[in-house]
Amino acid sequence: MKCGELTDFLEKEIPLRAAESWDNPGLQVGRRDACVRRVYLALDATRQVIDHSIAWGADLLITHHPLMMEGIRKVNADDFHGEKILKMAEHHLAHYAMHTNYDVCRMGEICSRRLQLQETEILEVTEERADGVSRGIGTAGFLPRRMTAEECCAQVKRAFGLGQVRIFGDPRKEVFRAALCPGSGKSLLPRVFEKQADVYITGDIGHHDGIDAADQGLCIIDAGHYGLEHVFVEDMESYLRETFPELEVKAERGDWPFAFA
């Protein structure tokens, strides 16, 4: 299969136009006419992931986060990103990213199902389609039952295989109406308040945003950026194996990108 054939198919399901305007999904490195037999999956194109991809003999690396988010002015081995680009090119490893377009088309629904949210709606609509179907970032809905924020933390940890999460607000508070945004959810806090959520499940919440939200009665469960988004790897592994049985697919089984010491 040609690289372009695979990415064209993916973009019918998860179109690039669904991405946020600031984002940079799509083919990052490589040729559309290159032959793809082995696909490696990861959340980020780190040096370790690139090395693992090459060692396994992958033709294509698919990640959630793009390698390049800002303009790049030179590609050489003295530059951090340039070195990674050169290494992939030298080993004929193409790189493709599915970022906020994936968030809009699949991530929110997958995470909502894991948490068993009911009567769901989009947290922030980003696209109104001609067929009347809206797309957007995040989800709002109801938990399976009323519970304390502490019990909700336990449910999040079970659903996403996490050892710990952070919580802003009273752990004993009863929560029922929930909002969810995998990744970094600070920018959607105004929407969360509009939806009158009791608890917001997200990542990358700073100190001041967290205590201000708690001061207004909102509990925030911060699962970290990795904590929810790692479902991308599992989902795409299943999707590619079912849709393209002729491809060999391998996933990077990562862990938290940092440790507590």
pLDDT at position 26, please?
98
Q: Which residues of 85-105 are buried (b: 16+ CB within 10 A; e: fewer)?
A: bebbeeeebbbbbbbbbbbbb
Q: What is the mean pLDDT of residues 33-46?
A: 98
Q: At the topology level of CATH, where does 3-98+230-251 sit?
A: 3.40.1390
**Token pair listed for 3:** 């690289």
Vertex 114: Cα angle to 116 and 220 (nearest 5): 80
Tell me if 3-98+230-251 shares its fold with 102-222.
yes
Residue 255 has pLDDT above 80, yes or no: no
CA distances from 171 to 1, 188, 212 (A): 51, 22, 16
The mean of the pLDDT values for the chain is 96
Q: What is the pLDDT of residue 134?
A: 87
Q: Quickly count: other Cβ atoms within 10 Å of residue 174's Cβ.
A: 14
> What local confidence, expressed as pLDDT, does residue 258 receive?
79
Residue (of 43, 31, 29, 100) closest to 52 by Cα position: 43
pLDDT at 257: 81
Give 141-161 pLDDT, tens digit per residue.
999 999 999 999 999 999 999
Task: Detail the residues annotated as belonging to a binding site for a divalent metal cation.
Answer: 64-65, 103, 225, 229
> Residue 9's pLDDT band (boundaries 50, 70, 90)?
very high
3-state DSSP assignment of residue 11: helix
Res 256 pLDDT > 80: no
Q: Any idea where the domains of the chain sit in the sequence?
A: 3-98+230-251, 102-222
Binding residues: 64-65, 103, 225, 229
260 pLDDT higher than 90: no
Amino acid making up residue 168 = F
Per-residue model confidence as pLDDT tens digits over 52-89 = 999 999 999 999 999 988 877 889 998 999 999 999 99
The number of C-alpha atoms within 13 Å of 1 and in the hemisphere containing its C-beta is: 20
Q: Full-prediction pTM beyond 0.85?
A: yes
User: So what's the architecture of 102-222 in CATH?
Assistant: 3-Layer(aba) Sandwich (3.40)
Predicted confidence band at 21 (pLDDT cuts at 50, 70, 90)? very high
